[in-house]
Structure 1
Amino acid sequence: MSWNEFLKEPLENEYVLLSPVVPEDRDSLRAVAMAPRIWRYFVSRVESDADFERLFDAMLADQDAGRRTVYVITDKSTGRTAGSMSFGNLAESDGRIEIGWSWLGVDFHGTGINGCAKYLLLEHAFERLGVERVEFKTDQLNTQARKGLSNIGAQEEGVLRSFNPMPGGRRRDAVFYSVLRAEWPAVKRRLSAKGRPAAPGSPH
């Protein structure tokens, strides 16, 4: 079975549900997306309804074209939509995939939802898709994302300078991280040991 079949499946554990995006998700995602600080290190900004419409339409278009699988994250403790995360750069013949395009509404920052979602995607990638390498990239300036990737056990590989343009005219230096198949058991134990995420809005 090709990756395409596996990538259509929803993923869940007791904490989060990850469902491939559908047009009906537009309003629930909009409700958590309209905070400019979410998008500080993204290649696009969401500062208006028009910005969000472009973002959401791109999510649907990328998924329909097979460029990436876009998941909507639901926090199962509240039933609320928390944000989104994707599989992209799908290189099946090379056994390589990227996890990225990750964002959460501000109420869900620091709650553990991010780690729970990444755990499900890593587990799916290594244990269902059979990948050899999962990669991540982020802005060199995004210290919070870099700390989060290090905390899950991803290995920093290096910086690709002037990787892409950013809103406002800056060019982003992109830092790459990866988890390899041989490293997955240790990363899995590390993520499993983190336990239940905190409730949205609780101290962290």
Structure 2
Amino acid sequence: MTWTPVTLEGRLVRLEPLNREHLRGLVEATEDGRMWERWYTSIPSPDGMAAAIEQRLTWQQDGFMLPFTTVRRSDGAVLGMTTFYDPHWAVPRVSVGHTWTRASAHGTGTNAESKLLLMTHAFEELGCQCVRYETSWANQQSRTAIEHLGARLDGVLRGDRRESNGALRDTVVYSVLAHEWPSVKAGLEARVARR
């Protein structure tokens, strides 16, 4: 099995396959809240955005990643990026991550709907048995958001990698399994419906 670029559309957001034409919108999105200054994230700086896009497109060609640009449907504003990555087709399992959203969109339901779209595609179209999420132990905002999705804690990989500032990172791993998906989906749909 391989990745097939696809557009996923909800009520609040549209996840478009990442392309070079998204550069300007992604730069504007990262400047909203100066997202790249958060040491515990790997959000590209405005100057590094073109290289980040090229890296993700290379990973897509290599079969490691399927990157998306998150676009708000109400006004067409680019909100950020998200991806499927690290597929294990023998399970099958995919990871969702490399996600960031402009600061002014936090708490608006767009991230919850993005994850609803991604997990619906993973479980219902790709036939995945597991969707995995990883984040830094230091990124409490991300950990809380993942837990609110309905993902369950699998464990902590201590000293797993380096943060952008060189600090040793503990990686927190979460997952949703196929048999849990119906209740997780219902919870996400209810959250999005309130927006």
Q: TM-score range by the shorter chain?
A: over 0.9
Q: Which residue number in structure 1 is paired with residue 112 of structure 2?
A: 115
CA 1:197–1:54 in 2, change beyond 3 Å: closer, same or farther? farther
Distance 1:60 1:28 in 2: 17
> Does 1:22 pair with 2:29?
no
The aligned residue for residue 130 of structure 1 is 127
Aligned 1:26-45 pairs, distance under 5 A: 26-34=23-31, 35-38=33-36, 40=38, 41-42=40-41, 44=42
- Mapped contact 1:38–1:104 kept (Cα < 8 A): no
User: What displacement does 1:47 show?
Assistant: 3.9
Q: CA separation of 1:152/1:81 partners in 2, compared to 1, >3 Å: closer, same or farther?
A: same
The equivalences for 1:1-204 within 5 A come to 2-4=1-3, 7-34=4-31, 35-38=33-36, 40=38, 41-42=40-41, 44=42, 46-49=44-47, 51-196=48-193, 198=195
Q: 1:158 to 1:24 in 2, by over 3 A?
A: same
Q: Runs in 1 of length 4+ with deviation above 6 angstroms?
A: none
* Cα shift readout 1:83-127 (whole Å, capped 9, x = no counterpart): 110000011112110000000111211111100000000000000
Q: Which moved more, 1:184-193 or 1:64-73?
A: 64-73
Deviation at 1:36, TM superposition (A): 3.4
8 Å contact from structure 2 (residues 26, 49) kept in 1: no
3-state DSSP of counterpart to 2:97:
strand
Instruction: Give the alignment's TM-score, normalised by structure 2.
Output: 0.92
CA RMSD in angstroms, aligned pairs only: 1.6
Q: Which amino acid aligns with 1:157?
A: D
Q: Higher mean Cα deviation, 105-114 or 79-88? A: 105-114
Which deviates more, 120-129 or 104-113? 104-113
Q: Which whole-Å CA distance do the structure 1 matches of 2:34 and 2:98 have between them?
A: 16
Q: TM-score, normalised by structure 1?
A: 0.88
Unaligned runs of 5+ in 2: none
Please state how far the C-alpha of 1:80 moved relative to its aligned partner. Answer: 0.7
The CA distance in 2 between the partners of 1:47 and 1:130, in whole Å, is 35
